[in-house]
Amino acid sequence: MTMPVISPSILNCNIARLEDELTKISSADIAHVDVMDNHFVPNLTWGLPVVEACVRTGIMPIDAHLMIADPDRWAPAYAEVGCASVTFHAEAAGAPIRTAREIRHFGARAALALKPSTDIAPYIDLLPEFDMILVMTVEPGFGGQSFLDTMLPKIRRTREAIDASALDLSIQVDGGVSRSTIEQAAEAGATNFVAGSAIFRAEDAYEEIATLRSLAHSHMH
């Protein structure tokens, strides 16, 4: 059975103490770093230098989620600096297959993200080009939002499409993931869980990661 992957989002961490914050979540599988450019989403976070600094700490693998315009141009660089996984948005990519292949060329896993209103259907034939599909469970841009349970059918459809193709792709969910929502997401077919506020606002991040992992595991197929 596949084990759940817990990916704490550092969006709400104390960026002035980035190395300490990564250490605080190092019992998780991978750190989720949200790159926002104030064009694709109405927020500005950080870019390649900060992501590369996270990679260089060597504390844990880095999963870069690029909420940016023109990922065809920028995404491969995130793989080149050593991210373990690079996710770009379907809505922003002009050449998703070429971009995914460039990401893989640099040794990273390539992932395609879908905003809540974007259907998986047009991308089903492209599934072999990717290692992961990210189903956003909030509108991207800000941390701390509530999980959209209207996305559960989309997670199920994505899982059915992956299983029908006999592919080994993970499904990541990002947005409002917490103790109260992770079981539903796992039940629907998600295997990779991004949690930000739930982990960074917990009294004990290690304990919260273990709890989320256990809840997800008990509901995964």
Tell me, rounded to whole angstroms, the distance of Cα 176 from its chain centroid: 13
Which residues does 62 contact at the CB level (< 8 Å), separation at least 6?
30, 31, 33, 51, 54, 55, 82, 83, 84, 85
Instruction: Spot the catalytic one: 37, 63, 131, 174.
Output: 174
**What is the number of residues in the chain?**
221
DSSP 159: H
Closest CA relative to residue 9, chosen from 63, 74, 66:
63
Q: Which of 34, 37, 63, 131 is catalytic?
A: 34
Let me know if 34 is a catalytic residue.
yes
37 counts as catalytic: no
Q: In whole angstroms, how far apart are CA 147 and each of 103, 175, 185, 198?
A: 29, 6, 10, 12
Which residue's entry shows tokens 């197929």? 221
Q: What positions carry a catalytic annotation?
A: 34, 174
